[in-house]
A and B are shown apart, each in its own frame.
Chain A
Amino acid sequence: MKVTTGQRLQSYIKDPLVVFIAVLGILPLLSSHHFYLQMLTLVFLFAFFSEAWNIISGFGKQFSLGHVAFFGIGAYITGILYADYGISPWIGLALSGVFGILLALLIGFATFRLRAFFFTLSTIACAEALRVLFTYWRLGSTGLGTTIPAVNGLGNLTFSHEIYYTYLAYILLLTVVSVTYRITKSRIGYYLFATGGDEEAAKSLGVNTYRIKLIVFAISGFFTAIGGGFYCMYMRYIEPCMVFAVDFSVQFAVFAIVGGLGTIAGPILGSVILIPLSTFFRSWIGGLFTPIGFLIYGIILVLIILFLPGGLMKGISMMKDKIAQRISSRKE
């Protein structure tokens, strides 16, 4: 039975993920309040990073805690090329992506044959090593920080109104979500799930797990690096300790986990909920009580792992099933 375009369109519209993303796309238009838009930019951006991380660590189960390495490299390449050499940030972003791929291949080559946890540890070590290296290098040059000149224009990826950044971040998110979706439906995705599920079994079935992991890691690195370049143009100032901070790696992971590891909507959900939440704790409760907010954050994390490892997406699908059950039992 052939599926017509009309039918396919219909199924897309009914797909909750599509609705979710569409709603997100409308959010920036709901208010022109600057703070609101800025928060949305961060929400979209971190959802983007979390999605990219999720591809290798959620679907592939190769738990990386050093993704900030790609982020930082991307930020620096775009930043330095623009600030010091006047090269358009768009080209910078593309180059950042390329370096993201190269770095991923390098790290993967060195560590993918190791046992899972050693891989994680190595990613942390790599990211930290890069941080120290960049600190050392930038120290010797004109100054530790790099300032991005503020010359507005699409060509310079610099805008006076926040909403452009918000929608650019949204486009980035759309891109990574579509790519992720395509992967899950493709042969690579098939192999990836096999690898993630049980690597030994997959290998025995003839899957070249090493190659698959490298490809997916490279894709993840590519996106993360581009995002890093965007972040640099957004913040307009970078320093090694800022863009190689382990906090980013942690955030990418936490958003995906809380939202639902290994799902497409999970990272987005995590970002949508946790970023406003932490801003709330810092800005509104504020002062001496800020630590309480983050303490609760930590407790939530522990509880989620213990009682709901599938994250919020699992929670939602469990509720969905319960309701469906109740409806069908009432029918009887």
Chain B
Amino acid sequence: MEIFIQLIINGCLTGMTYALMALGLSIIFGTLGLINFAHGDFIMLAMYGGFLISLCSGMDPYLGLFIMLPVAFVLGIALYRFLFKRLIDAPEESHIIATFGLSFVFQYGAMLLFSAEYKSVSTDYSANVFHFWNQYIDYPHIYGALAAVILIALLISFLHYTNTGRAIRAVSEQRRGAMMIGINVHKIYAIAAGLGLCCIAVSGVSLITFESVHPTIGPHFNLLCWIIVVLGGIGSIPGTILGAIIIAVMEMMVGYYFEPALTTFAYFVMFLAILMIRPSGIFGVKERRA
């Protein structure tokens, strides 16, 4: 029984990590409708960012966010202006191919800059484990989950209680309608892109405290995040979180009670099954585009 609890706890914590990873994607896809296949590589770059800041300054990566967040935001806006803007009205395949190209650029660029070794960051609390009742939780995951919770709370308040936030929600639900009431859609898209990249930055920083980074880890993260976003429902942040936790818990259960080598297979099958039954995802809105 206590193993079961341990599995659930691990699942939830890992789920929060996954949710943090998928959040940026949810925002960018939910608002701009941009299919970003380089999302995983963005995370990879964010991880390198956290690593570098930590390396150069000796600071904890989370503190590095003070630098990374503004940079991420500006980068998001720049990316929107120079790339995303042109892609939005193009057919979906173009999104996929263009972001694939981007993915190559990121991966090989990282390989040139950082060479092929595995890098990670070791903090004071990396090794600390919180031990109670025969359950073990490690601090990096706790902090990661905390970061996720804070970020989500901030995001949701922003989206519901500020004008810009509401504008973002308006645009993601009904673009034309939003335009008609005078919202500057381009500005909103740019902000959403910046916001998305900020989420990615937080995720990268959190991941580097307990994971190693390598130029080719992007694609794996990418598939995972996409499955989470689609499963949870596009345009829904609670959906993304729930989707992430479901997948993580399922991985734990299948891995323990059944077969560790088949955990990814299990969630792929689950993903496909849910898509067939409810294509819009768990909390997804049925019709999207205007």
Write the residues of chain A forming the contact surface with B, with a CB cutoff of 8 angstroms.
57, 61, 63, 65, 110-111, 113-118, 120-122, 124-126, 128-129, 132-133, 135-136, 139, 246, 250, 253-254, 257, 261, 288, 291-292, 294-295, 297-306, 309
Contact = CB atoms under 8 A, between A and B. Distances in A.
A61 B96 CA distance: 13
Among A57, A114, A301, max chain B CB count under 10 A is at: A301
B35 interface: yes
Given A63-B92, A136-B259, A305 B97 contact: yes
A332 B111 CA distance: 57
Contacts of A303: 101
Contact of A121 (B103, B106, B111, B227): B227
B125 interface: no
B272 A122 contact: yes
Contact of B105 (A125, A132, A257, A295): A295
A114 B273 CA distance: 12
Interface stretch (B15-23, B197-205, B262-270): B262-270
A304 B109 CA distance: 19
Nearest to B227: A125
A298 B93 contact: no
Contacts of B112: 288, 291-292, 295
20 contacts: A61-B91, A111-B276, A116-B92, A118-B279, A121-B226, A128-B223, A129-B268, A132-B264, A133-B265, A254-B100, A261-B93, A291-B111, A292-B108, A295-B108, A297-B104, A298-B105, A301-B97, A302-B101, A302-B105, A305-B98
Nearest to A303: B101
Given A124-B223, A136-B259, A295-B112, A114 B97 contact: no
Contacts of A246: 219
Nearest to B93: A63
Contacts of B1: none
A201 B35 CA distance: 24
A121 B105 contact: no
A187 to B, nearest CB: 25
B213 to A, nearest CB: 16
Contacts of A288: 112
A133 B262 CA distance: 7
Interface of B: 35, 83, 86-87, 90-94, 96-98, 100-109, 111-112, 219, 223, 226-227, 230, 259, 261-262, 264-265, 268-269, 271-272, 275-276, 279
Contacts of A128: 223, 264, 268
Given A125-B227, A246-B219, A250-B100, A61 B93 contact: yes
A185 B56 CA distance: 63
A306 B104 contact: no
A121 B97 contact: no
A291 B104 CA distance: 10
A124 B225 CA distance: 13
Given A298-B108, A305-B90, 12 more contacts: A63-B96, A115-B279, A116-B92, A125-B271, A129-B272, A292-B112, A298-B106, A301-B97, A304-B101, A305-B87, A305-B97, A306-B87
Nearest to B101: A301
Given A261-B93, A302-B98, A118 B230 contact: yes
Contacts of B276: 110-111
B100 A300 contact: no
Contact of A135 (B106, B219, B223, B261): B261
Contacts of B268: 125-126, 128-129, 132
B265 A132 contact: yes
Contacts of A306: 83, 86-87, 98
A121 B100 contact: no
Nearest to A62: B93
B172 to A, nearest CB: 16
